[in-house]
Structure 1
Amino acid sequence: MVTSDLLPASARWHIAAGRAWPLGASPVPGGVNFAFHANGARAAWLVLMDAVDGTIVAELPFPEGGRFGTLFTATVRRLDTDRFHYGYRVAYTSGGLSPVLLDPYATELTGAGEWGQRPRYRSAVAPTDFDWGDDRPPRIPHGDLIIYETHVRGYTRHASAAVTSPGTYAGLREKIPYLRELGVNCVELLPVFEFDETDNTFVSPATGKPLRNFWGYNSVGFFAPKAGYASRTGQGDASRELKSLVKAMHAAGIAVILDVVYNHTAEGDHRGPTLSLRGLDESAYYLLDDAGRPLNLTATGNTVNCNHPVTRTLILDSLRHWATEYRVDGFRFDMAAILTRGTDGRPLSDPPLVEAIARDPALAHCVLIAEATDAAGVHQIGSFPAYGRWSEWNMRYRDAIRRFLLGRPGSAGEFATRLVGSPDLYRERGATASVNYITCHDGLTLADWTSYDHRHNEPNGEDGKDGIPDEESWNCGHEGPTDDPAVLRLRAQQARNALLLLLASHGVPMILAGDEFGRTQHGNNNTYGQDGPLGWVDWNHRVAHAGLLGFTRRAIALRHAHPVLRRTVHPDSRVAPGAPCPPVSWHGEEPWEPDWSEGSTLLAAMLHEDRDDAPADCVYLAVNAGGSERTVRLPEPPPGLRWHVFADTGSPAHQDGHEVGEEPLCGDTHWTLGAHASLLLVAGGV
């Protein structure tokens, strides 16, 4: 509609029927083309707003000749997208007008201001003239990836990060030299789609102030980068800064994966705001119950109707946008089990969206990782429809490594299966289908896993009842901080044990940012609302835990140096003709005599690979998860090689590991492993 006082303003622009594709706002010669889907609308208006303060300047009717099915299109001549933002308003055939709606395809959402300000979102057109120069994505083979999960704001917001632009894309870019030194080659960023950090109903029990939606798992737009993560607040700054970060990561040989949230949105349930999708075609974009209210299969209020053709197109277009316009190297899909649900909410054996993502040419270079669960009881770990492309966050690996290191009954055999890439889950898909991790953003940090038996979530304002109830953690004898040398020594061993096993396991390892130097959240295992020191990475721990940091760096270097640890095929115990030993062999206190009993706390494995163009690659790993010393007799290494000590987490001389190529010779046929200690030997020359 064009109100009377705006009629003169509308005359500044010439509006005509537009093109149906692409959807969204697209610059064309002399103006801008707009196209969007709105089912059940009899008319629509383009709402133009002043870019400075958001004042509505004009509401221009979409011409009738620009309607194609449920698509409304218009081309507006002489429209300066730097001066004007936009939205849509629709009149429904059932009666009534919508509020001003965001464009689902908007490449920028303005009006949020600086971080922490209540947003008044407007759609805008992000610049597309970024100079990528000679950018060359690293295209790291899947089996060689070492993923580092981090949060853009939380990684550098703490003063100890010592960056020029804390809490921003630019601040993270300043940490690239550190990432290179650590040895990781892939960074997985928690959500960077635009989200509303003020959307949290809980308050701090200590201060009474509202908590933030710090992690950002409440997408407002699927195409727009989070403006509050930019160091500057001008139009296009977030887009340019995120692209600059990706470009710089690539130049350093580091791939970038985005944690994407397509399973729900910030519109919430029937009580939530109507921002965009709900006002355009609620039944296409969301799963609804018989009463027309959103189905809540995500524990967030609504569930995206991912396999509806309209929504499927939206998600695919969004992924293509990030893969081509931002040149990211892959995606981790939050609650990906939702992507497999049909339009009736039931899981599909052959979900069109999941297959389309796997087959899409523009995404052929992308790593695809599924969190193969949702909040409504669907667990597809090992059975997520892969189509030859998808990997999974392997939660069974997480549980197995924790249970084994705590000496739980039956855990040795379970972890042995996880160590060789979980062939029980991924036999047809290969070891790299398993993304292995001990910790992630959701749960205890590694330091807290060794320091707390129970979650301590009182600061979250939910009476301490939120978060994962039981994390298979052990405080090593004291709950929380302590000065007891014996407890601290045991915690140091357990942290090193976990990292060593992770980096020696077949599959793709993922490390939580800060675990390499003992980051703590003081037992809070659900810091989604903690935008403060509790949720930020405190870089002071680099000094206090320098030994752990050095150990992690060396263990990463060890993985890079030994192809036997990065095999994409699950190793088995069959000896190939002419080979001195099988790809994997299992041992105990005596060579070739593993203990698979229910109460076993000793696991030993020799991993071997013959190579035509180089000497055989072989490592021996022994783990004593029990509370008493164990002595093992070492198996013979391949002919012509001798064992060298990379690390013994229970020995002061070897606890922090040795540099690759500088491992001291192991001069004995037996090795005594302390309680809760791990040994890793590498086979090499004299």
Structure 2
Amino acid sequence: MSEPPRQSETPPPLGVRLRPDHAGGGADVAVYAGRADAVELCLFDGSGPGAAERRVELTARAHGVHFGHVPDLTAGTAYGLRAHGPWDPARGLRYNADKLLLDPYVRGITGDVTWRPEVFGHVVGDDLAGDHEVRDAHDSAAFVPRGVVLSDGFDWGDDRPPAVPWSQTVLYEAHVRGLTRLQPGVPYHLRGTYAGLAHPATIEHLTRLGVTTVELLPVHAFTHEPALAQRHATNYWGYNTLGFFAPHAAYSSASDPAGVLAEFKGMVRLLHQAGLEVVLDVVYNHTCEQGRDGATLSLRGLDNSAYYRLDDNGRDVDVTGCGNSLDFRHQRVVQLTLDSLRYWVQECHVDGFRFDLATTLARGRDDGYDPDHPFLVAMRSDPVLSQVKLIAEPWDVGPHGWRTGQFPPPMAEWNDRYRDTVRSFWLADAARAGRGEAGHGVRELATRLSGSQDLFGVGDRGPLASVNYVAAHDGFTLADTTAYEHKHNQDNGEGNRDGHDDNRSWNHGVEGTTADADLLARRRRSVRNLLGTLLLSTGVPMLAAGDELGRTQRGNNNAYSRDDLVSWLNWDLADWQQDLLATTTHLLRLRREHPALRQRQFFGGRPRHEDGTLDLGWFAADGSVMDDSHWHDPRTRVLQAFLQGRATGDRSLLLVLNGAPADLEVTLPGEPWATSYDLLWDSTWERPGDPERGLSGVQQVGGLSTRLYAATP
């Protein structure tokens, strides 16, 4: 054992870094364990439970970092950590050298967390690695995954980020396993893997559809909660992080950690070659160690009081709903997160991140949300991270956790207000209108269609800060919003208590499956209305994978534990699903072809030309300009939006939404706005048709339908 060369007083970068340039090779090892008395590196002669262990103490220490140079450490070596220190849970100190710990900076992981059956029925996790109130003396090395030392080499060739501008971005939220598990064009052994996602059959679907950016549900190494293991279920979504630097091994066709990382990088490279960006859904708000009675697997055993937000009694402050919350008041938590983000950009070439429960990452000294939190400032000013796509899920479950519209630029945000408003108009309010009842009118709908300026109009953010969506992984699928009014989560094993109840959905008269052809046709039209509104709105649209195929989860709105047919995309498409795919592809083509649908700035409502026309005009069903009597009437169900295209050299467009149950006569705006119109799309069409040209005046518009016209000056 020797001190790091030329750095005897200064810790090297955290983690295990091979040093081929150093005489004798080996690696620099550095671990933050701020209140530990000693930290040992544990080296194993294999990856199995019976592998012999050799311990090497990291004798140098500075600023809470234990470090040293290990001369005989090579790529492929399995390792872990042990931290010695005080056991005082009331002060947040939970050191236990009998617990093998995973390096927070590990880039490869072998093995899984193993929950012993005998722990079920009492304190789950106590025997594995938890600590409860009494230090468990049992050595857990056989039950904790091992880290594996990896080298950084990979042949990226001429890989370049696609760098898709936000104004051209269409996000596609997908699950690595679920997207291709049943894809017949992907070889069986590659289905559900990184390689399967990058297979030509998958890429062909994505590029033909017209999306630009694949947003992957968590791919950081994760494990399954003991409560799920007890009922033989798994955490399918992956929001239960074990390692912030290692790709999840179960999503790889490779069997060794080096192969897992290479396959992930190969996936990114192939998607880039096809012009597709890769954005990762990342979970830095909590870890899989859960609450005080959970497991000690990594951070808790190294410095519980630094990594986690604790109260005065050493108990976890949970603003995530997952048992613990990482404490972004601490410099080392900020450092860990920034180091992880930069690793995925610089070493794995990903193009951005979507931050799960992002409010947690910006809770300051007083526990409140701070838009100028040091983490947000550091990330936004970082020369690497400031250049990639950054998307916040702008809420958590803690006090005052809803913060939509309040994150600083250049961050974009999931816009839940958009989702709720569009669903309400086309579904919940449509059902009310069918019963002769008033709804919410069209005021907020107009705000959402035009980029949500009420939320994103400050800080020079613009409409591209709004990630618009009508369905995501969490909640009903798009098709299920038109077929179910109540969640059906009985098979999740939680008595249908899980999942939220505010779905803004409408079953069109029958809950669930039906053979009624007319009812099914009305549901399909509602799906097209939702899709059309999403893809023709100002802002950045996000599709949930499978919604373009009419995917159903049979009314399950919380399929986080369903690694089965409920969650996987079914690629055996009926005729109506082929029609829906063609419709989605057509709408995305229209979005690409017409800059008026991809505004970079908010509409000003100001005259743009000598003829007095505005950059955005709102009209009622009779063709008159919308006034207060229309805007404030909760029974208003028709809205026309005229998007001026002259400034971009594009044709102006007219979006017509008829939320009334019956067919209506709608008068299209005449001169000076337009002399005639070409009908580019009508949601009453089961499949896109040829444009209808030269239309003007009064048009018969189908009940509960959407139309897009191109205007002729």
TM-score above 0.5: yes
| 8 Å contact from structure 1 (residues 618, 637) kept in 2 | no
Check conservation: 1:287, 1:345, Cα contact below 8 A: no
For structure 2, the 5+ residue unaligned runs are 88-94, 118-141, 430-438
**When the two structures are superposed, what TM-score results if normalisation uses the length of structure 2?**
0.88
| 1:510 counterpart = 2:542 | yes
Structure 1 residues 196-233: Cα deviation after superposition (integer angstroms, max 9, x where no partner): 1x425148xxxx95111000000001111101100111
Match of 1:672 in 2: 700
| 1:219 corresponds to | 241
Q: Is 2:616 aligned against 1:584?
A: yes
Which of 329, 343, 348 aligns to 2:370? It is: 348
Answer yes or no: is 1:34 the counterpart of 2:55: no
Question: SS of the counterpart of 1:406?
Answer: helix
Alignment match of 2:659 (pick from 607, 625, 634)? 625
Equivalent of 1:62, from 45, 58, 83?
58
Deviations 1:229-269 (A, max 9, x none): 00111131111111111111111111111000000000000
Which one of the candidate residues 644, 654, 657 is aligned to 2:688?
657
Note if 1:647 corresponds to 2:681.
yes
Aligned pair in 2 of structure 1 residues 542, 177: CA closer, same or farther (>3 Å)?
farther
Aligned residue for 1:267, secondary structure, equals coil
Q: 1:667 to 1:276 in 2, by over 3 A?
A: same
Q: Deviations over 1:14-39 (max 9, x none)?
A: 44446512110101131111011111
State the shift of 1:645 in Å: 1.2
Please show how residues 373-522 of structure 1 align to structure 2 within 5 Å: 373-386=395-408, 388-406=409-427, 408=429, 409-428=439-458, 429-522=461-554
Q: 1:80 to 1:373 in 2, by over 3 A?
A: same
Question: In structure 2, what is the Cα distance between the partners aligned to 1:390 and 1:492?
Answer: 34
C-alpha displacement of 1:542? 5.8
- Distance in 1, matches of 2:167 and 2:624, equals 28
* Matching of residue 166 in structure 1 with residue 187 in structure 2: no
Cα pair 2:109 2:257 within 8 Å, conserved: no
One-letter amino acid matched to 1:167: G
Q: Which residue of the other structure, out of 139, 144, 147, is the alignment partner of 2:171? A: 147
Deviation at 1:159, TM superposition (A): 5.8
Aligned to 1:108: 108
- Given the alignment of the two structures, is residue 80 of structure 1 paired with residue 74 of structure 2, yes or no? yes
Which secondary structure does the structure 1 equivalent of 2:543 belong to? Answer: strand
| Higher deviation after alignment, 86-95 or 364-373 | 86-95
Q: 2:568 pairs with 527, 533, 536, which one? A: 536
Q: CA deviation at 1:161?
A: 6.1
Quick one: distance in 2 between partners of 1:316 and 1:448?
A: 38
Query: TM-score with structure 1 length normalisation?
Result: 0.91
Give structure 1 stretches of 5+ with no counterpart.
1-13
What's 2:668 paired with?
634
Pair 1:334–1:575, CA change in 2 (3 A)? same
Contact persistence 1:108–1:124 (CA under 8 A): yes
Match of 2:635 in 1: 599
Partner of 2:42 in structure 1? 47
The answer to whether structure 1 residue 184 and structure 2 residue 211 are counterparts is: yes
Distance 1:579 1:236 in 2: 65
Give yes or no for contact 2:426–2:704 (8 Å, CA) kept in 1. yes
Q: Given that residues 676 and 695 in structure 2 are in contact (C-alpha distance below 8 angstroms), is that contact kept between their aligned partners in structure 1?
A: no
Amino acid at match of 1:617: R
Deviations 1:485-513 (A, max 9, x none): 11111111100001111011111000000
Map Cα deviations across residues 309-346 of structure 1 (whole Å, 9 max, x no partner). 11111111111111111111110000001011125533
Which residue among 301, 304, 316 is the counterpart of 1:294? 316
Residue number in structure 1 paired with 2:128: none
Partner residue, 2:301? 279
Q: Is contact 2:32-2:64 (8 Å) kept?
A: yes
Residue 128 in structure 1 maps to residue 152 in structure 2: yes
Instruction: Please name the residue that 1:332 is paired with.
Output: 354
3-state SS, counterpart of residue 587 of structure 2: helix
* 1-structure distance, mates of 2:153, 2:109: 18
Of 431-440 and 300-309, the range deviating more from structure 2: 300-309
From the superposition, tell whether residues 209 and 540 of structure 1 become closer, same or farther in structure 2 (CA, over 3 Å).
farther
Q: For the Cα contact (< 8 Å) 2:113–2:145, is it kept in 1?
A: no
**For 2:556, which of 487, 506, 524 is the aligned residue?**
524
Q: Secondary structure at the match of 1:536?
A: coil
Q: The residue matched to 1:220 in structure 2 has which SS?
A: strand
CA distance in 2, matches of 1:423, 1:627: 29
Partner AA of 2:538 in structure 1: H
The aligned counterpart of 1:199 is 225
Amino acid at match of 1:393: W
Q: Distance in 2 between matches of 1:396 and 1:335?
A: 16
* 1:604–1:623 CA contact under 8 A, matched in 2: yes
Query: For structure 1, which segment, 17-26 or 262-271, has the greater mean C-alpha deviation from structure 2 after superposition?
Result: 17-26
Aligned to 1:24: 15
Partner of 1:180: helix, strand, or coil? Answer: helix
Task: Return the offset for 1:666.
Answer: 4.1
Offset of 1:349 from its aligned partner?
A: 4.6
Q: Distance in 1 between matches of 2:270 and 2:440?
A: 46
The one-letter code of the counterpart of 1:667 is L
C-alpha displacement at 1:638, in angstroms?
A: 6.8
> Structure 1 residue 568: deviation in Å?
1.4
Match of 2:232 among 177, 189, 210: 210
CA gap of 1:79–1:515, structure 2 versus 1, over 3 A, is same
- In structure 1, distance between residues paired with 2:284 and 2:426: 35
- CA deviation string 1:20-79 (max 9, x = no partner): 12110101131111011111112221100123425233101222xx21131111111132
- CA offset digits 1:607-659 (Å, max 9, x no partner): 112236x3x43111111112111111111377887411111112xxx44224x
CA RMSD, Structure 1 to Structure 2 (Å): 2.2
For the residues of structure 2 that align with 1:229 and 1:154, how far apart are their CA atoms? 10
For 1:325 and 1:143, how far apart are their aligned partners in 2? 27
Match of 2:329 among 296, 302, 307: 307
CA deviation map 1:260-279 (0-9, x unaligned): 00000000001111111111
3-state SS of 1:201 partner:
helix
> Once the 2 structures are TM-superposed, how far is the Cα of residue 169 of structure 1 from its aligned partner?
0.5
2:579 aligned with 1:547: yes
Q: Compare 519-528 and 32-41 and name the one that shifted more.
A: 32-41
Shift of 1:576: 2.2
What number of residue pairs does the alignment pair up? 653
Cα deviation code 1:95-121 (max 9, x no counterpart) = 85351211111111111399xx99741
Do 2:488 and 2:555's aligned partners in 1 also have CA atoms closer than 8 Å?
yes
Residue 273 of structure 2 aligns with which residue? Answer: 251
Change (3 A) 1:141 1:292: same
Alpha-carbon shift at residue 88 of structure 1 (Å): 1.3
Between 1:16-25 and 1:445-454, the stretch displaced more is 16-25
- Per the alignment, in what secondary structure is the counterpart of residue 223 of structure 1? strand
In the superposition, relative to structure 1, how do residues 177 and 542 fare at CA in structure 2: closer, same or farther (>3 Å)?
A: farther
Cα 1:40–1:649 change in 2 (3 A) is: same
**Aligned-pair CA distance for 1:127:** 3.2
Q: Tell me by how many angstroms 1:160 deviates.
A: 4.8
C-alpha spacing 1:411/1:135, structure 2 compared with 1 (3 Å): farther
| Greater CA drift, 584-593 or 165-174 | 584-593
Q: Which runs of 4+ in 1 moved over 4 A?
A: 93-96, 159-162, 637-641
- Aligned to 2:535, the other structure's residue is in SS state helix
Q: Which amino acid aligns with 1:665?
A: R
Q: Which amino acid aligns with 2:66?
A: F
Distance in 2 (alpha carbons) for counterparts of 1:553 and 1:119 = 48
Select between 406-415 and 361-370 the one with higher mean Cα deviation.
406-415
